[in-house]
Amino acid sequence: METKKWGKAILSGLVAIFAAALAISLIFSLLLKFTGMTESSIRWILLALSFITLFIGGFIAGGKGKERGWILGGITALCFTLIILLFQFLGFGSTLKPMQFLYHAGFLAMAMLGGMIGVNMSSD
């Protein structure tokens, strides 16, 4: 597989992840603002949506790449983690906390699974 094809596949997955994250953030910030919901009441919903979002990003990357979906999904998740780490470090001066490593390990697994399924669902 050529590098350019991998790059486009990974970029497509990342764009999907961040677009979904932006939409979910907007929806839940409005819900928090205009309803009686609290952050602690939606924590598990947001975590589940995060895993689903990374699965979809891996699925898209695998589908666009058409081969080695688990690698494409994994690289997509690792790029996502790197972007989050850079944002957190450069923006807030902190590194990933131990619990965040567990979350990102789960994100990696979900994106790899999504990549494997995405390859098998793509049509040549």
Q: What are the pLDDT tens digits along the chain (124 aa)? A: 577 889 999 999 999 999 999 999 999 999 999 998 899 999 999 999 999 999 999 999 999 988 888 999 999 999 999 999 999 888 888 888 899 999 999 999 999 999 999 999 866 5
Nearest in space to 70 (alpha carbons), one of 124, 117, 23? 117
Query: Which letter, b or e, does each residue of 67-105 get, where b requires 16 or more Cβ atoms within 10 Å of its Cβ?
Result: ebbbbbbbbbbebbbeebeeeeeeeeeeeeeeebeebbe
Supply the pTM of this predicted model. Answer: 0.91
Closest CA to 77 of 95, 57, 96: 57
Give the count of domains, the chain. 1
Domain that holds residue 116: 3-121
Farthest CA pair distance, the chain: 51
The letter for the amino acid at 103 is Y
Cα distances from 62 to residues 83, 87, 97, 99, in angstroms, run: 20, 26, 29, 28
